[in-house]
Structure 1
Amino acid sequence: MTDPNGLAPLKQFALNDRLANYGDGTFTTMHVSDGKVALLNRHINRLVNDSQALGLTVEAEVIRQVIAAALPERNEGVLKVLIGAGQGGRGYARLAEPNINVAVSWHDVPAVYQSWQQQGIHVGTVPVSLARQPLLAGLKHANRLEQIFIKQALAHTDFDDAIVTDTEQNIIEASAANLFWLVGGQWFTSSLALAGVNGVMRQFILDNCPDIHIIEQQLTEIAHVDAMFLSNALMQIVPVKTLTLGESKRELAIAPVLSLHKSLAQAYVGEYGAA
């Protein structure tokens, strides 16, 4: 890729490099509509910041160029960008100066998300917890074995998704989304100081809804929530219609979630970008 700004380009990764072997890298998954990327700058910042947290330096403008080069291929869909630590080093140890590389891929937006947004979903729990590791908390790093275990457990239930806790039973997130819940007219979301992924949609919601409280909350303490929703960059905001906790199964209100989603629509459209 020719770089008019003189920045070092990123190279296509080989399958035997550190990203493939150790998950030594970061990634983001973007919703593309009419050739534009939703929450574009947030996705770019995520790749820059999360890579830096892993000791990998990438320039925002180089990432922007990677995205721009991919966009002519499709006008609609899901664009995934992975940043890897390259090849080399002995075992877990990297080279002193990693040869950072990139991979891009296109996917379809899950068709079920549209009906989920309008009708809501059934959420329960699974017997898989997230480890508490502050060095990785919040990052969209490429080692996602915990989420694989969660998805495997979820496949043995009739839930659409699950509330996932850490090993101390604090609510963290869903299988691939962040969680928000409403109690007494006040919205809350989980602290991600020790586990979980700080999603770009979560960041967008918090920036536009400053009254939402970020807290530590035990799973046992949310049995009587009034409403709940999941969020990520692809599903945007999905209300929880039915919540199952143990033997208790409750119907939740989806109107407050739909109202919140509607209130954010204009700001969301304003964060589309063409790279």
Structure 2
Amino acid sequence: MTESVQIQSLNQFALNDRLANYGDGVFTTMHVSDGKVGLMSRHIARLVNDAAALGLTVSKDSIEQLITQALMQRSDGVLKILIGSGQGGRGYSRPDTVSLSAAVSWHLVPAFYDDWRRNGIALAVSPITLAQQPLLAGLKHANRLEQVLVKRAMQNMHCDDCIVTDRNKTIIEASAANVFWYKQGIWFTPELSQAGVNGVMRQFILQHVNNIEVGEYHLRNLADAEAIMLTNALMQIVPAHSLVMGNQSDIVKYSLEPVHAIQTSLKCAYDQESACA
């Protein structure tokens, strides 16, 4: 299936819109400051690659055009782009001809992220676990019901964010971020072949930090870690100062310094990847 000559603008959902009905599409959220989009090329590649994994063809040029048009409206904030598979019938099958749609929206950057980056956050372990689905693992697809359940459970938890595992207690990610932890000079992060989102900030860090091991890790690996950081395109790099492993008395404390060192060492490289459309 190929996209139409021009992606159709999506301002409101039709009753038969596949993005609204099935989450049949992909999205990305970008941090924009002074007209520059952080990690822009990685966001574009995500949309192209993740759409292709769902059998949708979208061009790099068409996404760049969407970003350019959006930057004419605002130069600061959170820019979100949704790419959907268009309209269809009642069933799950796509029509023979797919006409892609794009929804572009602006949002405020959460004001508390600056404090999080400086002072760290409190973590707990989510009671909601993620299913294993290798066909969707790594993708920022639009069906995020698992994350909705995670966020709903967090309303009754005394934490800023949570560690999310699969049913085997294998660490996957946070509620809306990737997770790294530090021990004896090495950073660790989960591989995401079965579940989770391969975030653009995660990709950036894996490229620019040498001492990182990627693998399958059990929740107990966080019990003796020295530091933990969460990463995504909006919060960027945030340290955790504590993690409740089980009951409220089972709290692990972490140092902020290794994360602050990463923040400082990557600032120049991050700025170099911020671009105007």
The verdict on a shared fold, with TM-score over 0.5 as the criterion, is yes
- 1:3 maps to which residue? none
Q: What one-letter code is carried by the residue in structure 2 that aligns with 1:117?
A: R
- 2:142 maps to which residue? 142
- 1:4 maps to which residue? none
1:47-74 per-residue CA deviation (whole Å, 9 max, x = no partner) reads: 0000000000000011000010000111
Output aligned runs, 1:1-275, within 5 Å: 8-13=5-10, 14-16=12-14, 17-247=17-247, 248-275=250-277
Deviation at 1:90, TM superposition (A): 4.3
**What is the rounded CA distance, in whole Å, between the counterparts of 1:76 and 1:200 in structure 2?**
19
**What is the rounded CA distance, in whole Å, between the counterparts of 1:222 and 1:114 in structure 2?**
25
1:129-170 per-residue CA deviation (whole Å, 9 max, x = no partner) reads: 000000000000000000000000011111000000012210
1:192-212 per-residue CA deviation (whole Å, 9 max, x = no partner) reads: 000000000000000111321
Q: What one-letter code is carried by the residue in structure 2 that aligns with 1:266?
A: C
**What is the rounded CA distance, in whole Å, between the counterparts of 1:114 and 1:9 in structure 2?**
38
**What is the rounded CA distance, in whole Å, between the counterparts of 2:192 and 2:263 in structure 1?**
22
Q: What one-letter code is carried by the residue in structure 2 that aligns with 1:229?
A: M
**What is the rounded CA distance, in whole Å, between the counterparts of 2:57 and 2:42 in structure 1?**
17
Asked whether the equivalents of residues 185 and 211 of structure 2 are also in contact (C-alpha less than 8 Å), the reply is no
Judge which range, 29-38 or 241-250, deviates more. Answer: 241-250
Length, aligned pairs only: 269
Q: What one-letter code is carried by the residue in structure 2 that aligns with 1:135?
A: L
Uncovered stretches (5+) of structure 1, i.e. residues with no partner: 1-6
**What is the rounded CA distance, in whole Å, between the counterparts of 1:100 and 1:170 in structure 2?**
36
Asked whether the equivalents of residues 7 and 62 of structure 2 are also in contact (C-alpha less than 8 Å), the reply is yes
**What is the rounded CA distance, in whole Å, between the counterparts of 1:77 and 1:141 in structure 2?**
22
**What is the rounded CA distance, in whole Å, between the counterparts of 1:97 and 1:244 in structure 2?**
50
**What is the rounded CA distance, in whole Å, between the counterparts of 1:210 and 1:272 in structure 2?**
21
Uncovered stretches (5+) of structure 2, i.e. residues with no partner: none
TM-score of the two chains, using structure 1 as the length reference: 0.96
SS at 2:68 equivalent: helix
- Structure 1 segments of 4 or more deviating over 2 A? none
Q: What one-letter code is carried by the residue in structure 2 that aligns with 1:169?
A: K
**What is the rounded CA distance, in whole Å, between the counterparts of 1:27 and 1:98 in structure 2?**
18
Deviation at 1:249, TM superposition (A): 0.7
What CA RMSD, in Å, does the superposition of the two structures yield over aligned residues?
Answer: 1.0
TM-score of the two chains, using structure 2 as the length reference: 0.95
1:8-60 per-residue CA deviation (whole Å, 9 max, x = no partner) reads: 22112351310011000000000000011000000000000000000000000
**What is the rounded CA distance, in whole Å, between the counterparts of 1:159 and 1:114 in structure 2?**
17
**What is the rounded CA distance, in whole Å, between the counterparts of 1:157 and 1:88 in structure 2?**
40
Q: What one-letter code is carried by the residue in structure 1 that aligns with 2:267?
A: A
